[in-house]
């Protein structure tokens, strides 16, 4: 059905295990995924060259790269110092994506407590972000990140109105959080995939209600209420043959990673549609 099932590095490496990227060497031996979506950590800016060399030497494939999330929050704030910092970090991320051989660049154009409260700043910043990504030959994709003022589909529509060739990444949990997952299947929004805007998918479950902030957790498939039979049947129906990323958090508070759970998730996804 799809070419690649990737695993987010953010599902494996985080604060409980010291954000230790070298753990990927052992994890990769035991996981069935064809590669990873690299997710940049704020703790790694002093180790960029070291991480790139490590991943290349180990033959770890990262065809998709996820920018550090708080870049979008800095753009949202919009003051000169925040923007300078955001673009400084963004270019490091884009160059790193290029050096790792990633072809897709995932970005939270808005993020954090500020979120989409000053969306005009995010809208204005997009052309410069796209220009930088194009210069490194990576495809910038804007994720349907949760909002605290409007909603992701409405923000996507504003972006398309201003930038008709823009690319998106669709996240199942983010959509379910806003009660917008069903919109993906409607004729009203078929232009999102028919016109080639959605170019990648994040797959993870959600167990809360609409804008239920206390339950905004990344769950394994089957641990929430998303109808993945319908989702993957739809993916097959529209002829999508690209990659998607599993984001189910696999480490506990002690940093121990449940590799068996991730492999079960891989197997479950590989068997869809069921």
Domain boundaries, the chain: 5-271
- Residue 8 class from Cβ within 10 Å (0-12 exposed, 13-18 middle, 19+ buried)? buried
Regions of the chain with pLDDT less than 50:
1, 274
Q: Are 192 and 220 in contact (CB under 8 A)?
A: no
> How confident is the model at residue 3, as a pLDDT?
65
Question: What length is written for the chain?
Answer: 274
Cβ-Cβ contacts under 8 Å for 175 (sequence gap 6 or more): 144, 152, 181, 183, 184
Cβ-Cβ contacts under 8 Å for 171 (sequence gap 6 or more): 143, 144, 145, 201, 202, 204, 247
User: Is pTM beyond 0.85 here?
Assistant: yes
| CATH annotation of 5-271 | 3.20.20.150
Q: Are 62 and 35 in contact (CB under 8 A)?
A: yes
**How does pLDDT run across 77-114, given as a tens digit for each residue?**
999 999 999 999 999 999 999 999 999 999 999 999 99
């Amino acid at each position: 059905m799809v070419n690649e099932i990737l695993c987010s590095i953010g599902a494996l490496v985080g604060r409980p295990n010291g954000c230790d990227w070298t753990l990927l060497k052992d994890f990769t031996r035991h996981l069935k995924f064809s590669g990873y979506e690299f997710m940049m950590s704020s703790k790694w800016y002093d180790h960029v060259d070291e991480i790139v060399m490590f991943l290349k030497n180990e033959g770890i494939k990262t065809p998709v790269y996820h920018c550090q999330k708080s870049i979008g929050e800095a753009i949202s704030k919009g003051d000169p110092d925040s923007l300078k910092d955001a673009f400084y970090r963004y270019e490091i991320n884009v160059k790193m994506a290029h050096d790792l051989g990633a072809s897709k660049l995932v970005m939270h154009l808005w993020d954090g407590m500020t979120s989409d409260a000053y969306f005009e700043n995010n809208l204005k910043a997009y052309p410069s972000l796209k220009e930088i990504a194009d210069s490194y030959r990576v495809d910038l994709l804007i994720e349907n990140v949760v909002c605290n003022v409007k909603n992701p589909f409405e923000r996507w529509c504003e972006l398309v109105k201003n930038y008709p060739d823009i690319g998106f990444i669709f996240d199942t949990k983010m959509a379910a959080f806003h009660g917008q997952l069903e919109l993906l299947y409607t004729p009203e929004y078929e232009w999102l995939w028919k016109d080639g805007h959605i170019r990648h998918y994040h797959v993870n479950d959600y167990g809360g209600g609409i804008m239920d902030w206390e339950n905004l957790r990344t769950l394994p498939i089957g641990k929430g209420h998303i109808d993945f039979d319908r989702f993957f049947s739809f993916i097959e129906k529209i002829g999508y043959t690209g990659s998607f990323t599993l984001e189910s958090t696999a480490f506990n508070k002690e940093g121990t990673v449940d590799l068996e759970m991730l492999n079960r998730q891989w197997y479950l996804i590989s068997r869809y549609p069921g």
